[in-house]
Structure 1
Amino acid sequence: MRILIQFFLSMLATYGFTIYFKLPKKVRLVTSALSGFIWIIYELLFDLSENYIVSFLISSFLIGIFSETFAIHFKKPATVFTLPCLIPLVPGAGMYYIMYYFIESNYILMREQVIKTTLTTSALALGIVLSQGLVRIIREVIKSMKDKKR
């Protein structure tokens, strides 16, 4: 039941951002559903591994793969799908706690939170970059195979 609630909350949050970003109406629901699905994947990966960096890396990698696939299918840029799907994963709480610990002059906890937030955002970025690189390599291989047949 918890997973289903998280799925719908993630979907709802992402749908709000699709409206804010003025995405085309025909991709809003798909993007929101993808975001909910990715959030569930993140939660399951974190429950299994208890490693947030790996969970974020794999989740963002999947966002990149699905975004590139949906971009081809819907004939839209991949960023239309990528950016809204990252919304639930962005470590906003981490940024809040960095500022909170800074104001409270608790520099030890602030430093730990800076490291955790930096690693999290780096994992998100790396996952997107790796997935898009992989998709481009696959496209080039397919293109060269088609050229050889001609």
Structure 2
Amino acid sequence: MYQRILIATDGSTLSKKAVQHGLKLASLADAEIVALTVIPRYPQSYFEGSLPVPVKEVAAVEKQWADQGQAVVDAIKKTAETKGLKAKAVTAKSDLVAEAIIAAAKKHKCDLVVMASHGRKGLKRLLLGSETQHVLTHSHVPVLVLR
């Protein structure tokens, strides 16, 4: 069935549901886990939503985000290992979340991507787009989306 499953997470409640399902599926298939979170960079300009902030503070915020992301994937790795699964904790720093997920799946030779849909509707979906939709339409491996 599946040999290596990439579980993409942002640490949200809905994302945790996808993690649980991904771990169960990996247990059934005796597959390896690659737990991934994508860490954004701090906005650098007013047009990206930034306020003028000293470089030192930007570095501190980005480090905090990286530490939080690492903690999320480390927890998934630990949970997977307690279930007897091989697991790897991976972070990627990128503003292009969907592209980072697709690239990680390719790099780690995953044959399934498990992720959550954030369920945006209407104008919010139109304005914000959907990372999940992008992964679904551009991934070369199957994608399991949980709601």
Tell me if both proteins adopt one fold, taking TM over 0.5 as the criterion. Answer: no
The structure richer in helix per residue is: 1
Q: Structure 2 length normalisation: TM-score?
A: 0.38
The structure richer in strand per residue is: 2
